[in-house]
Structure 1
Amino acid sequence: MIYGTPDDRNFSKMISFINKRGFFVVFGKGDNLIQPVHVEDVAGAIAAVIEKPATFGKTYEIPGRAPLKYKEMLEIVKSKLGRQFRIYYLPIGISRIAVKLYSRLVPSSSLKPDMIDRMEIDKAYSYENASEDFGYEPMPFETGIEKFIKHLEKN
């Protein structure tokens, strides 16, 4: 999950939703692992790979610094936003039914049933090869999300 631009479809939407409504709904327990990566880290990795011919033809994982549970990530967002909001956890089974019904009632909705399935999948990756081959060291999520929130507040 790449974040750091206002049109990233994930964090910008999440933060906008939280700011407008004062709450956020998590499908499931929020124990799934995610490893968001800031767009500057991705751009830096691309630039570094281009400059190192030894990397040509190789494939690299370019994740964020460390895996976080989804609920841990939300707590970090909460602290960096500097405002309180409620987090509601909706059981997976109920979430599937609710989203399926909602997506039928509101076909233009960005909520889709497959999003629920993805909430049960861990998305944690090693960047050891990237670190060794071209010095990839992504910023901590706390740093990146704070930078992103400040950017959103300015614009």
Structure 2
Amino acid sequence: MEEEAKRILQKLIIVSVILIISLIINVLLFMGSLQTVNCPQPEAVQGYTSQSISYLDYSGVYLEGANLAKVNAYKTKFAGADLRRADLHGAKMTLADLTGADLSGADLVGAKLDYANLRNADLTGADLSYADLKCADLTGANLKDAILEGADMNYIIGEYTR
């Protein structure tokens, strides 16, 4: 009986070690997959440029006039962000979350916004010329005075204000 208890205890220890190693590996692999950016001061982001901001969370952040031209923002969250007059021309924003974002007057010429969530976004006066809006959700979005020349709007989801 004592020998059987030792074997069970050894198996429990081995299983515990395997679980701990697995947990450590998972934490290391996924630790940087979604980071939160806290920018309480507008000055902290003025003139900000970056090549890749994929998977980051800019929800509610003030980015008015920011230069984000040609940025790679795959699956980046901009929910409720202030992106008025931001330069986002040529940005790659596939699957980005722009729910309720203010993009009024933004330069989105040639931007890749396919599958992006633009629910209730304000795109008043935004330049979306030649932008890829394929399968984007524009439910409740305001596109008043937006420039849509050459934009790919195939399979758009929802009704929007124009």
TM-score range, shorter chain: under 0.3
| TM-score normalized by the length of structure 2 | 0.19
| TM-score normalized by the length of structure 1 | 0.20
Q: Larger % of strand: which?
A: 1
Kindly indicate whether structure 1 or structure 2 has the higher relative contact order, using CA contacts under 8 Å at least 6 residues apart: 1
Q: Larger % of helix: which?
A: 1
